[in-house]
Structure 1
Amino acid sequence: MAKIVLTRVDSRLIHGQVVTKWLQQSGADEIFVVSDELEKDEFLQSIYVMAAPPGVEVKIYGIESAQKYWTEDAVNSNAKVLFLVPDLPTLKAMVNAGVIENDIQIGGLGGGAERKNVLKNINLSENDVSVLNDFLAKNLNVFFQAIPEDNPMPIEKLIEKYNSL
């Protein structure tokens, strides 16, 4: 059975930091990306696949096909997986499907309308805070950590900051 060694929320998905630091630190030999948008865009998929180092397989699925993969095909794999999603609603679907049951690392959430900056790479919306509170209610360990050298920060601190803005 494929084993998820790191679950990371990062709006940039596969980028230098993920490739140079998190793959090595986690010991992953496969990157599994869940994004409905990316699943439909073969050109962008090819760019993300090229961004991975040699010997690291990249799999890209939408939410529905990712759920199917983890219930049917992951049992035939011995991969150590770095599980990447671009946003919290996507992750929530994976948690609700029972795919993600372990620690959740928040690495980067981009800005935009109705989003408040709570830390250097973290911008939260009201919906994000609701999703994070749902995770905490399920006793999932959710934390912010941009790079391996940083100490993990409990997500509760970022929720408090959001509520104070």
Structure 2
Amino acid sequence: MQIKLARVDDRLIHGQVATVWAKEAGAKRIIVVSKEVANDDIRKTLVKQAAPPGIKVNIVDPEKAVKVYNNPKYADETVFYLFTNPMEVLELVQLNVPIKSINIGGMQFKTGRTQITKAVSVDQTEAEAFRNLESAGVELDLRVVATDPKGNFEEKLKEAGF
């Protein structure tokens, strides 16, 4: 399996992802990796309906994502991974899925989170997961849209008090 792009965006498939990031990735399949979404039939249906034409969408939990990645049947697949949070990215990385870079695009503000950019808010657990990803050699690519310059995620965490 060839990973073309991995992105954390809690909105999952929306206009920017469907029109820009999917083209940027050039993948034939989007795999949404989320325990929460995989267990929510309504959300699964909505995410699949938002997919760009001609791109297959699967919604799985991290355990299934690892099994699919390691299945020789999918060796020639090109994929765009979408995550709602960094903890599930870290789970895949710790189980030897070779994610080299994670695009951090959108994590909405809610109670318990601190806003670090216009589009990204994190809590302590998420900040730690991002730091663990970076320690594991994963590039943290902070960009909402593909044309944005890459931001320094660690710097933004420090500025926000993490």
Q: TM-score range by the shorter chain?
A: over 0.9
The match for 1:28 is 27
Structure 2, unmatched stretches of 5+, are none
Measure, in 2, the Cα distance between the counterparts of 1:77 and 1:38: 25
Structure 1, unmatched stretches of 5+, are none
The answer to whether the aligner puts 1:65 opposite 2:64 as a matched pair is yes
Measure, in 2, the Cα distance between the counterparts of 1:39 and 1:135: 23
Residue among 129, 132, 137 paired with 1:131:
129
Question: Are the aligned partners of 1:124 and 1:162 in contact in 2 as well (CA < 8 Å)?
Answer: no
Measure, in 2, the Cα distance between the counterparts of 1:11 and 1:76: 26
Q: How does 1:14-93 map to 2 (within 5 A)?
A: 14-72=13-71, 75-93=73-91
Measure, in 1, the Cα distance between the counterparts of 2:14 and 2:98: 22
Residue among 82, 86, 92 paired with 1:94:
92
* TM-score, reference length from structure 1: 0.91
Residue among 143, 153, 156 paired with 1:155:
153
Measure, in 1, the Cα distance between the counterparts of 2:41 and 2:130: 31
Measure, in 1, the Cα distance between the counterparts of 2:134 and 2:38: 29
Question: Are the aligned partners of 2:12 and 2:82 in contact in 1 as well (CA < 8 Å)?
Answer: yes
Shift of 1:162: 1.8
Aligned to 1:153, what secondary structure does the other structure show?
Answer: coil
Measure, in 2, the Cα distance between the counterparts of 1:128 and 1:35: 15
- Percent pairwise identity: 27
RMSD in angstroms over aligned alpha carbons? 1.5
Shift of 1:138: 1.8
1:52 is aligned with what amino acid? A
The match for 2:107 is 109
Question: Are the aligned partners of 2:6 and 2:99 in contact in 1 as well (CA < 8 Å)?
Answer: no
Shift of 1:77: 4.2
2:141 is aligned with what amino acid? F
Question: Are the aligned partners of 1:105 and 1:144 in contact in 2 as well (CA < 8 Å)?
Answer: yes
Shift of 1:100: 3.7
Measure, in 1, the Cα distance between the counterparts of 2:74 and 2:147: 34
Shift of 1:113: 2.1
The match for 1:121 is 119
1:44 is aligned with what amino acid? R
* TM-score, reference length from structure 2: 0.93
Shift of 1:76: 2.9
Question: Are the aligned partners of 1:35 and 1:61 in contact in 2 as well (CA < 8 Å)?
Answer: yes
Question: Are the aligned partners of 1:9 and 1:88 in contact in 2 as well (CA < 8 Å)?
Answer: yes
Question: Are the aligned partners of 2:13 and 2:50 in contact in 1 as well (CA < 8 Å)?
Answer: yes
Shift of 1:11: 0.6
2:62 is aligned with what amino acid? I
Question: Are the aligned partners of 2:30 and 2:55 in contact in 1 as well (CA < 8 Å)?
Answer: yes
Measure, in 1, the Cα distance between the counterparts of 2:127 and 2:7: 17
